[in-house]
Amino acid sequence: MNAFWIILTGSLVATCCSLLGCYLILRRMAMVGDAISHAVLPGIVIAFLLSGSRDTVPMLIGAGLLGVLTTFLIEFFHRYARVQADAAIGVTFTSLFAIGIILISVFAGQVDLDQDCVLYGEIAYVPLDLWLTDNGLSYGPRTIWTLGVVTLLILSFIVIGYKELFLTAFDPAYAAAIGISTSLWYYLLMTAVSLTTVASFESVGAILVVAFIVGPPATAYLLTDNFKTMLILSVILGVIASFSGYYLAVWLDGSIAGAIATVTGVEFILALCFSPQRGLLLKRRTLQPV
d(CA 169, CA 1): 40
**pLDDT class of 290 with cuts at 50, 70, 90:** very low
For residues 165 and 58, the model is more confident at 165
For residues 283 and 104, the model is more confident at 104
pLDDT of residue 230: 93
Burial of 112 (0-12, 13-18, 19+ CB in 10 A): exposed
The domains found in the chain, sorted by start residue, are: 12-124+139-287 (1.10.3470.10)
pLDDT of residue 29: 80
Phi, psi (rounded to 5 degrees) for 140: 95, 180
Show the DSSP H helices in the chain as ranges: 2-26, 32-39, 41-51, 56-79, 85-106, 115-120, 142-160, 162-170, 172-177, 182-223, 227-252, 256-274, 280-287
pLDDT of residue 54: 64
Q: Rounded to whole angstroms, what are the CA distances from 109 to 106, 112, 114, 279?
A: 8, 8, 12, 53
Which residues sit opposite 197 in a β-bridge? none
d(CA 33, CA 37): 6
d(CA 197, CA 36): 7
pLDDT tens, residue by residue, 53-95: 666 677 777 877 887 888 888 888 877 777 887 788 888 888 8
pLDDT tens, residue by residue, 191-212: 888 888 878 876 777 778 888 9
Residue 237, pLDDT > 80, answer yes
3-class DSSP state for residue 112?
coil
Please provide the average confidence, as pLDDT, over all residues in the chain. 82
Which residues are CB-contacts of 71 (< 8 A; sequence separation ≥ 6)?
32, 36, 187, 190, 191, 193, 194
pTM of the predicted protein model:
0.85
d(CA 51, CA 28): 37
